[in-house]
Amino acid sequence: MTPREIAAAFVEAVNSHAPDRLAALMSEDHVFVDSDGTRLQGRVRLQQVWREYFAMVPDYHILVEEILAQGPTVVLLGEAEGTFVREGRLEAKNHWHVPAAWRVVVKDDKVEVWQLYVNPEPMGRAFNRARED
């Protein structure tokens, strides 16, 4: 598979909420980099992080509108959206939708780096609303 195809498979696994498929696509030393620069590393750790995220945002979805690829690096441009769950319920007020970009680095047919670029403020506001009493 090409890096572009591997990145597309990773997006499909995200949209299917399949942490085991995501883990199968990750390198052993996989790195996730969030918009604020937070770095998480390790396939096993990230598999669990994705599992927890899907529980917190059960309708999380990525829409890719454009793909740019050069060598092992793929850039995905599009949107992300989801709803933070509150007491087992999805409420419209806790929904967010943001433009987003991802940088994907592939090595030996595995995703070595998954880096997110997004304005976290809309997600933060939705998260805070979901946690209000």
At 129, the pLDDT band (50, 70, 90 cuts) reads confident
* 111 token code pair: 């995703």
Query: pTM of the prediction?
Result: 0.93
What are the boundaries of each domain within the chain? Answer: 3-128
**14 has a pLDDT exceeding 80:** yes
Per-residue confidence (pLDDT) for residue 80, from 0 to 100 = 97
> pLDDT digits over 55-107, tens only?
999 999 999 999 999 999 999 999 999 999 988 888 899 899 999 999 999 99
CA distance 1 to 9: 10
Looking at residue 21, its pLDDT comes to 98
pLDDT at 122 over 80: no
Strands 89-107 and 110-118: antiparallel
Which CATH number does 3-128 carry?
3.10.450.50
Indicate the pLDDT class of residue 119, thresholds 50, 70 and 90.
confident
Q: Tokens at residue 62, please?
A: 């990525």
Which residue is associated with the tokens 């942490």? 19
Confidence band for 120, pLDDT divided at 50, 70 and 90: confident
| pLDDT computed for residue 45 by the predictor | 98
Convert the pLDDT of each residue in 95-115 to its tens digit.
Answer: 999 999 999 999 999 999 999
Q: Please tell me the distance from the alpha carbon of residue 98 to that of residue 89, in angstroms, as a whole number.
A: 21
